[in-house]
Structure 1
Amino acid sequence: MADLGHDRFELPPEMRSMAESNFKQAREAFEKLLANAEAAAGSIEESGAHMRAGARDIGARVIAFAETNVKASLDYAQSLVLARDLPEVMRLHSEYVQAQMRALAEQADEMGQIVSRAAMDATRPKH
C-alpha cells in the first residue's frame, strides 16, 4: 500500500504562526517605507515646471512599481508558507516567476515611455 502522505509539506503550527507574524511585520515595515518614499518623491520641487512634473510622474510610477512588486513577493512568500505539498510549492513558484516576468516587462516598457515623455517635455521651448 502506497503512502500518499509522503508528499505532505507541513509546517508545525508554531513555525506557521511565527512566519505569518513575520510577514505581517514585513508588510507594516514596507508600508512605512512606502510612505517615506512618497514623502521624499513629493519633495522634488526645485526645478522648472516641466521637470517637476516629469520627476513627479517618474517618482510616482517607481513607487507604484515597487509597491506592486513587494506586495507580489510578500503574497508569494505567504502562499509558500500555506502550501500543503511540494507540487503546490512548485506550481506557486512557477506562477510567481511567470507573473513577475510579465510585470517587469510591462513596467520597463511603461518607464521607458514616461522617461521619454519627461525628456521631451523638459526640452520643449518655454513660451
Structure 2
Amino acid sequence: MDQDGRDRFEIPKEMRSIAEAGFDQARKAFEHMLSSAQQTATTIEDRGATVRANAKDITTKAVGFAERNVSAALDYAQQLVHAKDLGDVLRLHSEYVQAQMKALAEQATELGQAVARAAQDAAKPKS
C-alpha cells in the first residue's frame, strides 16, 4: 500500500450508523441522568430549607422555654430570700413546683407538636 492508502481509513456505513446511534443513545441517557440529578438536587435543597426553617422554629421555642424557666427559678429564689418562716418557704416551694410542672407539661406539648410538624414537613413529597 502506498502512503495514501495507509493514511486513509474508512469506517463502513453500517458501522458508522451503529456508532452514531450508540452515541445518540449515550448522549440522551447522559442528559436524562443529568436532568434527574438536577431535580434531585433541587428537591434536597427545598427539603433542606424546610428542615432548617423547622429547626429554627424548634430552637427558638426551646430557647424561649429555657428563658421562662430560668426567670421563674430566679423569681422563686428571690421570693425564698424574703420568706418570713418555714411555712412561707413550704408554700412558695409548693406553688413553684406546681407552676413549673404545669409550664413544663405545656412546653413539652408545644415542642412535641413542633417536632411532629417538622417531621411531617420533611416527609411530604414536593410537587
| Distance in structure 2 (CA, Å) of the matches to 1:98 and 1:91 | 11
Q: Which residue of 1 aligns with 2:121?
A: 121
Tell me by how many angstroms 1:124 deviates: 1.2
Secondary structure in 2 matching 1:48: helix
- The CA deviation string for residues 84-104 of structure 1, in whole angstroms up to 9 with x for no partner, is 111111110000000000001
Q: Which residue of 1 aligns with 2:54?
A: 54
Query: Runs in 1 of length 4+ with deviation above 4 angstroms?
Result: none
Q: Which residue of 2 aligns with 1:97?
A: 97
Query: Could you tell me the percent identity over the aligned residues?
Result: 64
Secondary structure in 2 matching 1:84: coil
What letter corresponds to residue 121 of structure 1 in structure 2?
D
| Distance in structure 1 (CA, Å) of the matches to 2:121 and 2:57 | 12
Tell me by how many angstroms 1:126 deviates: 2.0
Q: Could you tell me which runs of 5 or more consecutive residues in structure 1 were left unpaired when the two chains were aligned.
A: 1-46
Aligned pairs (5 A) from 1:66-77: 66-77=66-77
Q: Which residue of 1 aligns with 2:17?
A: none
* TM-score after normalising by structure 2: 0.61
- The CA deviation string for residues 42-73 of structure 1, in whole angstroms up to 9 with x for no partner, is xxxxx711101110110000000100111100
Question: Between Structure 1 and Structure 2, whose CA radius of gyration is higher?
Answer: 2
Superposition CA RMSD, Å: 1.1
* TM-score after normalising by structure 1: 0.61
Secondary structure in 1 matching 2:126: coil
